[in-house]
Amino acid sequence: LWKEFETPEPAEIAAIQKSFLRHVTKTFARTAFNMDNFASYQGTAYSLRDRLIDKWNITQQHHTREDPKRVYYLSLEFLLGRSLDSCLLSLGVKDIYKKALDELGFRLEDLIGEEVDAALGNGGLGRLAACYMDSLATLDYPAWGYGIRYNYGIFKQLIVDGYQTEFPDYWLNFGNPWEIERLDVSYEVRFRGYVNKVTEEDGTISYVWEGGEKVVAVAYDVPIPGYGTMNTINIRLWSAKPAREFDFAMFNDGNYDKAVEEQKSAENITSVLYPNDNHMVGKILRLKQQYLFVCATLQDAIRRFKKTNRPWSDFPYQVSIQLNDTHPTLGIPELQRILIDEEGLSWDDAWDIVTKTFSFTNHTVLPEALERWAVPLVQDLLPRHMMIIFDINLFFLQKVEKKFPGDRDRLRRMSIIEEGHPQNVRMAFLAIVGSHTVNGVAELHSNLIKNVIFTDFVEYYEGNKFTNVTNGITPRRWLHQCNPALSDFITQKLGSDSWVKDLEQLKKLKEFVDDPAVQKQWMAIKRQNKVRLADYIHSITSIQVSPDSLFDIQVKRIHEYKRQFMNILGVIHRYLRLKKMTPEQKAKEVPRLVVFAGKSAPGYFIAKLVIKLINSVGEVINNDPEIGDVLKVVFIPNYNVSLAEIIIPASDISQHISTAGTEASGTSNMKFVLNGGIILGTVDGANIEIGEEIGEDNIFFFGVKADEVEDIRHLNRYRKIEMDPDLRNVLDAIEKGTFGDPKIFEPLVATLTVGGDYYLISKDFASYIEAQADADEAYKDKVGWAKKSILCTAGMSKFSSDRSINEYAEKIWKIKPCSVPATL
């Protein structure tokens, strides 16, 4: 197992080949005559899976024996991407697998490329969960991830005539080597029905939830190995199945359609990931997903807890549950329900356990993203939970009233139930009231939570519940794996690869910043990564781009608050400027490649128009013979984790230009800087802390600050917006038809003119263009740029997800590492 390195190499190679061939021939029934790359990928993955399962079993047995406090990370999204490469690296067997496969005539790189992404997430929130699993495993924490096994992940994006079109991502089509189906681990989940009030002989009243319909949640386990450690944790994903395979009575009556329909309707629950990011839609199927998820997860956690015969009062000292945003908040009334209705605890004893168990991370301040569920909907689907939520609210408001007597307006503001027609359950308020700790994901964001959106709660809890844990990213995937050339170079310069598990070591790179040989090699590696991206762009779009241009990249979900619109308006501004230049003047310009990628929610009309505009502008600029390589614009379709691994190492500049105060943290900003790319961005989210760490000289900041935004919006609403004159020119060009039928873009342009410019593009435009000019100027100084790039990587220690996870473990979860011995 972990001792496999002690085996002599030839024997190890032979063992890998044997296991590979066994799986290819026996598991997949292939022969030497039809063993293509995909079959070989499967054989490799299965041979690695065997090792993972061994490590996972040893970990579980050790945890059962030690019985440490465990953390349960509940997330409706896990954006894992591919697993083969990362597992090979974590197990320390990449080189030897490469050799073993080489001898059989396969290139490991090709096989890695055969894997489809596990894309069970929308964006930052889902990818954060994946990074946190990697750190939890690597740091030897006894942790479980829980989520949903969607049959369809985030849709595939195709660009047709410049527009986004969506295709289903049926990722399980050819099987998934990284999951273990656990038909023996399944739980019943009830929906609808009625609540029976029972009066016992002694006069006590209890409630029983009965009737309705039942489905079953079945577990699928995804092992997550720590890097260079035995600890191998688990993400348990639930899949919905009908409670009884078939209604035989119905089947016998010849009512086949109805019988099959019922079966399908159960399976529908976990069929598809909702593709909205930062926007709430009140669909009943989504609520069903959330409840099925927390119901099965709590039964599983409680079953594990009960094995040790501890009293219920021990529960919060053995179990910590982290809610990744409000999506799993129903876990709070569900645990309360189990404790009072099924386990017979008093309300107060139960509530004490609940509030000591849960903690909640908020990931956004956008009002349209805060979850609110209509009371009649919850009442219909989960009648007992609705009663409990009303009671939680009643007891909570009684305490608020006691602390602030007579303050009716405060009670209205703080109520978990929002008044209106219909009433709504404010899930964030329920999550706050039911948790011991609430955190934001970057300093600025945590301050906004405290001072803007949850102020009343800060006052009520006297500041005790709210804290910050700045996000982080795993350096394993986001440097060591995705940028092997830079990773090797860093290891060589530092004389050890210990930085992979201890990012503080990167600080030592500062010693080399003035070394011309290091600068040269550093930039040569960057160029190599730019060539790799240029080749990819050519293969996908047929657009030829020069690796000697400045690569300026914005990749993230398309959203108005992220302001891809401002970026493309800036590109148009640059184009108009270039068009006025003589060839001699143009030759002095820094050639620039502007790359966009990202998905829009399928129903987000304005975001989809932004994609269309980017493609239309690219079409004109890329085919303008007067422009050539001085400016190119590319939209790369279907942004996902494995594409990010190619794009991120290739940036000179990346853009993180959200209106100040709107991007809670951002995590791709961290990935770009870790790979020696420079941020051009607003004073927002984690950009601020990155600036503090790497030094303000190594980041291009622009734009208004978060605390100015409200006043400017107020003025925009009540006066005519002062349109920036350069921006006016740009809009004129669009309206004149320079980029195709201007009618198409009218609704988009209108967001700036008649729409009140909510995201302050006009206000920030001049300083944005100025920052871009500063970047051009700085890029001309090759040595200066190399230094900036080195200092970027060297300053990123803080943003390892290992640091974030250690903070959660110490401050919030109160769990300790439980290191697993190499053998039992």
User: What is the Cα gyration radius of the chain?
Assistant: 28
Report how far residue 172's alpha carbon sits from residue 176's, in angstroms, rounded to the nearest whole number: 6
Instruction: Single out the segment in contact with ligand 26V by CB under 6 A; choices: 219-227, 294-302, 627-635, 658-666.
Output: 658-666
Location of structure tokens 């605390």: 707
Contact 519, 511 (CB under 8 A): no
One of 84, 108, 118, 123 touching ligand 26V (CB under 6 A): 123
Instruction: Single out the segment in contact with ligand 26V by CB under 6 A; choices: 270-278, 417-425, 615-623, 725-733.
Output: 270-278
Binding mask 605-644 for ligand 26V (x = CB under 6 A): ----------------------------------------
Report how far residue 621's alpha carbon sits from residue 151's, in angstroms, rounded to the nearest whole number: 40
Instruction: Single out the segment in contact with ligand 26V by CB under 6 A; choices: 40-48, 122-130, 381-389, 759-767.
Output: 122-130
Cis peptide before 142 (omega within 30 of 0): no
Instruction: Single out the segment in contact with ligand 26V by CB under 6 A; choices: 104-112, 275-283, 498-506, 535-543.
Output: 275-283
Report how far residue 134's alpha carbon sits from residue 121's, in angstroms, rounded to the nearest whole number: 16
Instruction: Single out the segment in contact with ligand 26V by CB under 6 A; choices: 88-96, 271-279, 610-618, 789-797.
Output: 271-279
Closest C-alpha to 369, from 427, 448, 419: 427
Task: Establish whether 788 is a catalytic residue.
Answer: no
Binders of ligand 26V among residues 92 to 121 (CB under 6 A) are: none
Packing angle between helix 9-22 and helix 94-103, nearest 10 degrees? 70
Please enumerate in sequence order all residues whose Cβ is within 8 A of that of 466, keeping only pairs 6 or more positions apart, or say none: 437, 438, 439, 440, 446, 449, 450, 454, 457, 458
For residue 483, how many C-alpha atoms fall within 13 Å in the half-sphere facing its CB?
A: 31
Binding mask 301-330 for ligand 26V (x = CB under 6 A): ------------------------x-----
Q: Counting contacts by CB under 6 A, is residue 364 touching ligand 26V?
A: yes
Location of structure tokens 């849709």: 155
Closest C-alpha to 691, from 796, 804, 803, 556: 796
Each as own residue / partner, the long-range contacts of residues 616-619 (CB below 8 Å, 24 or more positions apart, any chain) are 616/162, 616/739, 616/740, 616/744, 617/568, 617/571, 617/572, 617/575, 617/739, 618/543, 619/162, 619/739, 619/740
Binders of ligand 26V among residues 491 to 550 (CB under 6 A) are: none
Binding mask 385-424 for ligand 26V (x = CB under 6 A): ----------------------------------------
Please enumerate in sequence order all residues whose Cβ is within 8 A of that of 257, keeping only pairs 6 or more positions apart, or say none: none
Task: Establish whether 363 is a catalytic residue.
Answer: yes
Q: Counting contacts by CB under 6 A, is residue 471 touching ligand 26V?
A: yes
* Active-site hit among 69, 477, 599, 671: 671
158: which strand partners? 165
Please say which residue, 263 or 662, places its beta carbon nearer to ligand 26V: 662
Contact 170, 151 (CB under 8 A): yes
Q: Counting contacts by CB under 6 A, is residue 664 touching ligand 26V?
A: yes
* Active-site hit among 372, 557, 559, 599: 557
The string of DSSP letters for 315-366 reads HHHHEEEEEESSTTTTHHHHHHHIIIIIS---HHHHHHHHHHHEEEE-----
Residues in the chain: 824
Please say which residue, 62 or 556, places its beta carbon nearer to ligand 26V: 556
Packing angle between helix 605-622 and helix 564-579, nearest 10 degrees? 20
CB of 685 to ligand 26V, least distance (A): 6
Please say which residue, 112 or 119, places its beta carbon nearer to ligand 26V: 119
CB of 468 to ligand 26V, least distance (A): 12
Q: Counting contacts by CB under 6 A, is residue 59 touching ligand 26V?
A: no
One of 17, 122, 439, 564 touching ligand 26V (CB under 6 A): 122
Please say which residue, 734 or 812, places its beta carbon nearer to ligand 26V: 812
> Hey, CA dihedral for 345, 350, 356, 359, is it positive or negative?
positive
One of 140, 277, 300, 757 touching ligand 26V (CB under 6 A): 277
CB of 611 to ligand 26V, least distance (A): 19
One of 97, 171, 274, 551 touching ligand 26V (CB under 6 A): 274
Q: Counting contacts by CB under 6 A, is residue 663 touching ligand 26V?
A: yes
Q: Counting contacts by CB under 6 A, is residue 280 touching ligand 26V?
A: yes
Binders of ligand 26V among residues 63 to 82 (CB under 6 A) are: none
CB of 666 to ligand 26V, least distance (A): 5
Instruction: Single out the segment in contact with ligand 26V by CB under 6 A; choices: 273-281, 514-522, 571-579, 647-655.
Output: 273-281
CB of 440 to ligand 26V, least distance (A): 9
Pairing of strands 358-361, 319-324: parallel
Task: Establish whether 403 is a catalytic residue.
Answer: no
CB of 362 to ligand 26V, least distance (A): 9
One of 665, 789, 800, 801 touching ligand 26V (CB under 6 A): 665
One of 229, 567, 667, 789 touching ligand 26V (CB under 6 A): 667
Q: Furthest-apart CA pair in the chain: how many Å?
A: 97
Contact 509, 493 (CB under 8 A): yes
Q: How many residues bind ligand 26V (CB under 6 A)?
A: 23
How far is the CA of 183 from the CAs of 180, 229, 296, in angstroms? 9, 29, 14
* Active-site hit among 229, 437, 659, 667: 667
Contact 114, 74 (CB under 8 A): no
* Active-site hit among 426, 562, 592, 787: 562
Q: Counting contacts by CB under 6 A, is residue 363 touching ligand 26V?
A: yes
Please enumerate in sequence order all residues whose Cβ is within 8 A of that of 486, keeping only pairs 6 or more positions apart, or say none: 479, 522, 525, 529, 649, 675, 676, 793
CB of 767 to ligand 26V, least distance (A): 22
Please say which residue, 280 or 734, places its beta carbon nearer to ligand 26V: 280
How many angstroms from the chain centroid is the CA of residue 305?
Answer: 29
Instruction: Single out the segment in contact with ligand 26V by CB under 6 A; choices: 19-27, 176-184, 602-610, 657-665.
Output: 657-665
CB of 123 to ligand 26V, least distance (A): 6
Binding mask 670-709 for ligand 26V (x = CB under 6 A): ---------------x------------------------
CB of 220 to ligand 26V, least distance (A): 21
Please say which residue, 553 or 790, places its beta carbon nearer to ligand 26V: 553
Please enumerate in sequence order all residues whose Cβ is within 8 A of that of 667, keeping only pairs 6 or more positions apart, or say none: 124, 127, 128, 131, 471, 472, 473, 686
Instruction: Single out the segment in contact with ligand 26V by CB under 6 A; choices: 8-16, 229-237, 274-282, 602-610.
Output: 274-282
Task: Establish whether 436 is a catalytic residue.
Answer: no
Which tokens belong to 117? 């992404």
Which tokens belong to 180? 């273990």
Report how far residue 465's alpha carbon sits from residue 335's, in angstroms, rounded to the nearest whole number: 20
Active-site positions read 363, 556-557, 562, 667, 671
Which residue ranges make up the site for ligand 26V (CB under 6 A)? Answer: 122-125, 128, 274, 276-280, 325, 363-364, 369, 441, 471, 663-667, 685
